[in-house]
């Protein structure tokens, strides 16, 4: 296995002893597992993408439940992968450890914060990338790197011994190169749920994005889905982005504000500016955002016919931004992106990330979203 320092934190884990490790035989036997550096591995420090975090935290006393379950099913653990600092970015860049090279578009960002797991899978150095998705950190790198992914319903996959970013939105997610492996890995992690049959999908067409339902009609038809389209206005995206950011920001400061204030860690300028903004948020700001969330969830429920049909939209506004995009233009892009990814987080909904589109020769993904707790229904649809 080639070890790229910008992708791998270590390929010599202390999970059991050293080197490549597995705990059992089962449905994932023969598949290699790369783990985002938010998941605790017993005996190793969880670095959270920041050297000051690693220096101020002790080695983990246990291994994350999700990792244990995948290993018990036969997966082979090949190492921990890089993440954006404190997982608070969607770019895939890290000023301390470097930016993993997107093998699907080497001149473009790989997407974060599960960047290392995504790149390891896209390179073929792992078959399953274990990551997290709070504001899009599975769906965005899947879109940019041409991968399949799963962001589950909030709370359905055990997130024990995983470093938190924002409690109300954090989920454990998966990245794979093909849908069969995604289905098999999801089957290991997901709880038992009733399985519903879907025959209709509402395709949201985001204002200002060069996308229409007919671009994916053949893919939807192959899944037995009849599509109708509906505009997703710029106003709705702006409201979703702001509500999500405020609730997330309050969670982040509750979780990490004390450490940030005490340690004064060295953090990338864009991430630090967002953390500084989190510190200014008030309970009144959060209450207003929660009310806005309720209105957006009601709109999503209506759009899905109260869960009877799926919702589909592009995972991102287009192909990954070029590496040369920085500063205010990149910040403006993030706000636009969040208006699309925030919908699933606000709804607590499961999303399958699908590599169906291409733009300027680079991958561009689609998000297929179900009402909360329809994770197995979504995975069953993909397996047919």
Residues carrying an active site annotation: 36, 113, 137
Name the nearest CA neighbour of 136 among 341, 312, 355.
Answer: 341
SS3 content of the chain, % helix, strand, coil (to 5): 40, 20, 45
Q: At what angle are helices 327-347 and 234-263 packed, to 10 degrees?
A: 100
DSSP letter string, 267-307: --HHHHHHHHHHHH--HHHHHHHHHHHHHHHHHHHHHTTTT
CA atoms lying within 13 Å on the CB side of residue 85: 23
Q: Are 169 and 251 in contact (CB under 8 A)?
A: yes
Tokens (6 digits) for 266: 């060295």
**173 DSSP 8-state letter:** E
Length of the chain: 384
Q: Are 252 and 348 in contact (CB under 8 A)?
A: no
3-state secondary structure of 104: coil
**C-beta neighbour count of 285 within 10 angstroms:** 15
């Amino acid at each position: 296995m080639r070890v790229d320092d910008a992708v791998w934190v270590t390929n010599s884990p202390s999970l059991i002893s050293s080197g490549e490790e597995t705990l059992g035989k089962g449905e994932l036997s023969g598949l290699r597992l790369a783990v985002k550096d938010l998941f605790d591995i017993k005996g190793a420090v969880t670095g959270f993408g920041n050297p000051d975090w690693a220096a101020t935290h002790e080695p983990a006393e246990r291994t994350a439940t999700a990792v244990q379950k995948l290993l018990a099913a036969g997966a082979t653990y090949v190492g921990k992968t890089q993440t954006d600092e404190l997982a608070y970015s969607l770019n895939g860049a890290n000023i301390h450890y470097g930016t993993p090279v997107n093998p699907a578009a080497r001149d473009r960002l790989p997407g974060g914060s599960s960047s290392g797991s995504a790149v390891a899978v896209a390179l073929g150095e792992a078959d399953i990338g274990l990551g997290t998705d709070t504001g899009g950190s599975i769906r965005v790198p899947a879109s940019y790197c041409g991968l399949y992914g799963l962001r589950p319903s909030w709370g359905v996959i055990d997130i024990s011994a995983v470093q938190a970013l924002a409690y109300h939105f954090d989920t454990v997610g998966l990245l794979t190169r093909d849908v069969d492996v995604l289905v098999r890995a999801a089957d290991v992690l997901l709880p038992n749920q009733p399985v519903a049959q879907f025959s209709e999908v509402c395709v949201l067409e985001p204002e200002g994005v060069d996308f229409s339902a007919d671009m994916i009609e053949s893919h939807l038809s192959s899944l037995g889905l009849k599509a109708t389209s509906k505009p997703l206005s710029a106003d709705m995206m702006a409201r979703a982005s702001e509500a999500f950011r405020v609730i997330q920001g309050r969670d982040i400061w509750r979780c990490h504000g004390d450490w940030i204030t005490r340690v004064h860690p060295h953090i990338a300028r864009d991430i630090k500016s967002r953390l500084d903004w989190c510190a200014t948020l008030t309970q009144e700001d959060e209450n207003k955002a929660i009310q806005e969330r309720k209105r957006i969830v009601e709109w999503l429920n209506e759009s899905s016919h109260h869960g009877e049909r799926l919702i589909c939209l592009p995972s991102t506004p287009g192909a990954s931004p070029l590496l040369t995009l920085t500063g205010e233009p990149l910040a403006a892009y993030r706000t636009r992106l969040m208006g699309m990814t925030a919908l699933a987080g606000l709804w607590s909904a499961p999303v399958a990330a699908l590599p169906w589109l291409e733009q300027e020769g680079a991958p561009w993904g689609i998000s297929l979203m179900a009402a909360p707790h329809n994770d197995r229904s979504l995975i069953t649809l993909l397996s047919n």
